Structure 1
Amino acid sequence: MIFTLAAILLGLVLLVWSADRFVLGASATASILGVSTLVIGILVVGIGTSAPEMLVSGIAAYQGQSGLSVGNALGSNITNIGLILGLTVLFIPLRVKSKLITREIPLLLIVMVLGFFLVRDGNLSRFDGWILIAGFVAVVFRQIWEARHADNDELEKELEEEIPHDMSLGVALGWLLLGLVLLMVSARMLVWGAVDLAEYFGISDLIIGLTVVAIGTSLPELAASVVAARKNEHDIAIGNVVGSNLFNLLGVMALPGIIAPSDIDLAVVSRDYPVMLLMTVIFYLSALASRKGRKISRIEGGGFLALYIGYTAYLVYSSI
């Protein structure tokens, strides 16, 4: 058990650090190659911060732990809104100014509905996985188009200050490759530790994926959102959550379907998906209200956090 806990802890620490280095290297490389600021912020950083979830889910699915993969995808989305956004807003109320972000949240809701129809039969097939991948590709092209046609969006101004412009191509590629290698190593360690922990306590891999693994793979988003909020970059803080959730549903959820098609626990449909959908709807309403001049308040942040704590407590209680 000591080795298991050590693997989980070290895997989490390495996962956070390597994800940060990977995003830094990818952003700098894209900037040097002439990619626009908005494309880097929306696409490169968005995929980069979801890289931990993708690698963990891919490895877990390859090892036959599809419950861990699905739990990681849904749990990360719930964690992003309930824990990460909740904590961020609790300390620093946020206001959405970017038109791009307010257009992304309805798209996130549409993707959620699509995902629900694919899993409501209790099976995630290879066909379902390819549908999600097709959606992922469509969203990527849509975001590139949106970024290139955005006119003086508030998000671009905030991103310009965050993207490194003083790094050489060699250094940028070095961080990119090092981050990617350590991401794979740390993801492998985390999956091994999580599976061992589940077997030791007799808990399903779905529950471990929804809690321990979801929190761990969402830590890069927590760091990015808190730092952005402290710098008064509210649109980046919120955009991190929206972009990550989109990629989790389309990219991460697709992996267990493509790699290891299997039945999934029906609790995903009756318990976890409705919680994720409810949190996203509340988040959307709060974001819309903030576009009209007010901020997402600490009370709302406390509400997100309370929902997350209540949901997690129920998972732990039901498992025990």
Structure 2
Amino acid sequence: MILAATLLIVGLAVLILGAELLTRGGTALAQQMRIPPIVIGLTIVAVGTSAPELAIGIDAAIIGNGALTVANIAGTNTVNILLILGLSALIHPLALRSRTIRMDLPAMVLAALMMLVMSLDGRLSRLDGAVLVCSGFLYTLLIIRSAAGESRAVRIQFAREYRQPKGSRSSGRSVVASAAALVAGIGIIIVGADVFTDAAVRLARIWGVSDAFIGLTIVAIGTSAPELVTTVLSTLKRERDIAIGNLLGSSVYNIFIILGITCLVPTAGLPVTPDLARVDIPMMALVALVCVPVFLSRREVSRMEAAAFVTAYAAYLGYLLLTRT
């Protein structure tokens, strides 16, 4: 058990390192290609932070642990909203940008409901995966198109966050270095995912619990660790607008792109266990739906609402521990 736990931690650390390299390399490459900072922040960074989930999902699907993949997506999206966003707003009430309410919120709700409906038959097929991936591409196109209409203040904020460092040039050498970082990040993520997934499955066997339980808890919380740290630190520095946008964007990409691509890997698609279909995926969808009145009421998440979010996640985690172990 000690070995499996150690490998889990090592695998997670390698995953985080790989995701950071992938995001930095992709961001730098996009800057050198003169892609606007706002597009970089809303697409490349959001996808980069979801890269560990994709690697784990594909690895688990290949070795026949598809339930872990589905559980990881449902668990991660629940963690993103109830725990990470909840903790952020608990530290300081969260004012929401109009773009979050106009685009990210509807997309997150739509993605969650699509996953819920698709899982009702107990399996996410390749056709389901293709529909999700196409939805992800459409969402990305809408993001790029809407970026042109953002206010000057929002553009300045993204430019400050993702601007190209002064003195840097789009030389052949810098482009090669950025591409190398991107490729290295992908390679490191693949290695980390293999170690992490193997360790997670080992722990499930040792504890006598299902792969889905591990995916909903340890894997979901572990792969959300970078977003948790980034969002909390941004909150303490009062610079969290972009972090929150990326958090919701990652929740959308987790379903549309990450789950969609993973569904395409096994011939028979991904199995959805009865507990996932009856409890965990509906829970994820309910959390997304609850965000609608909370976000629209005063265009902010108050400390009271944040406390309710965090309490709800603690109760859900307690439920999992009591009923699935």
Paired residue for 1:250? 256
Please say if residues 89 and 301 of structure 2, whose CA atoms lie closer than 8 Å, have aligned partners that are also in contact: yes
User: Is 1:62 aligned to residue 70 of structure 2?
Assistant: no
Paired residue for 2:150? 151
Give the 3 Å change call, closer, same or farther, for CA 7–43 of structure 1 in structure 2.
Answer: same
Please say if residues 105 and 248 of structure 2, whose CA atoms lie closer than 8 Å, have aligned partners that are also in contact: yes
What CA deviation, in whole Å up to 9, does each residue of 1:26-53 have, x standing for no partner? 1121111100111101111111111111
- Give 1:61 deviation, angstroms: 0.6
User: Partner of 2:284: helix, strand, or coil?
Assistant: helix
- Give 1:17 deviation, angstroms: 2.7
Q: Which amino acid aligns with 2:182?
A: L
Give the 3 Å change call, closer, same or farther, for CA 155–282 of structure 1 in structure 2.
Answer: farther
User: Is 1:307 aligned to residue 316 of structure 2?
Assistant: no
**Percent same amino acid among aligned pairs?**
32
Paired residue for 1:77? 77
User: Partner of 2:121: helix, strand, or coil?
Assistant: coil
Paired residue for 1:128? 128
Greater displacement, 19-28 / 3-12: 19-28
Give me the CA root mean square deviation: 1.8
Give the 3 Å change call, closer, same or farther, for CA 153–232 of structure 1 in structure 2.
Answer: farther
- For 1:161 and 1:203, locate their aligned partners in 2 and report how far apart those are by CA, in whole Å: 46
- Give 1:16 deviation, angstroms: 2.0
Q: Which amino acid aligns with 2:231?
A: S
What CA deviation, in whole Å up to 9, does each residue of 1:250-282 have, x standing for no partner? 122224421121432022221012211222222
Unpaired runs of 5+ residues, structure 2, are: 169-173
- For 1:51 and 1:151, locate their aligned partners in 2 and report how far apart those are by CA, in whole Å: 27
Q: How many residues align?
A: 316
State how 1:58-207 maps to structure 2 within 5 Å.
Answer: 58-147=58-147, 149-152=148-151, 154-166=153-165, 168-207=174-213
- For 2:62 and 2:277, locate their aligned partners in 1 and report how far apart those are by CA, in whole Å: 23
User: Partner of 1:90: helix, strand, or coil?
Assistant: helix
Please say if residues 22 and 185 of structure 2, whose CA atoms lie closer than 8 Å, have aligned partners that are also in contact: yes
Q: Which amino acid aligns with 1:152?
A: S
**Runs of 4+ that moved beyond 4 A:** none
Greater displacement, 44-53 / 101-110: 101-110
- TM-score by length of structure 2 reads 0.91
- For 1:185 and 1:154, locate their aligned partners in 2 and report how far apart those are by CA, in whole Å: 40
User: Is 1:298 aligned to residue 303 of structure 2?
Assistant: yes
Give the 3 Å change call, closer, same or farther, for CA 46–79 of structure 1 in structure 2.
Answer: same
Unpaired runs of 5+ residues, structure 1, are: none
Paired residue for 1:219? 225
Paired residue for 2:283? 275
- Give 1:18 deviation, angstroms: 2.5
What CA deviation, in whole Å up to 9, does each residue of 1:127-174 have, x standing for no partner? 111111111121122212122x22326543322222151254344334
- Give 1:88 deviation, angstroms: 1.4
Q: Which amino acid aligns with 1:159?
A: F
Paired residue for 1:288? 296
Q: Which amino acid aligns with 2:91?
A: F
- For 1:283 and 1:21, locate their aligned partners in 2 and report how far apart those are by CA, in whole Å: 32
Please say if residues 92 and 229 of structure 1, whose CA atoms lie closer than 8 Å, have aligned partners that are also in contact: yes
User: Partner of 1:8: helix, strand, or coil?
Assistant: helix
- For 2:262 and 2:26, locate their aligned partners in 1 and report how far apart those are by CA, in whole Å: 26
Q: Which amino acid aligns with 1:308?
A: Y
- For 1:218 and 1:154, locate their aligned partners in 2 and report how far apart those are by CA, in whole Å: 29
Paired residue for 2:245? 239
Q: Which amino acid aligns with 1:200?
A: I
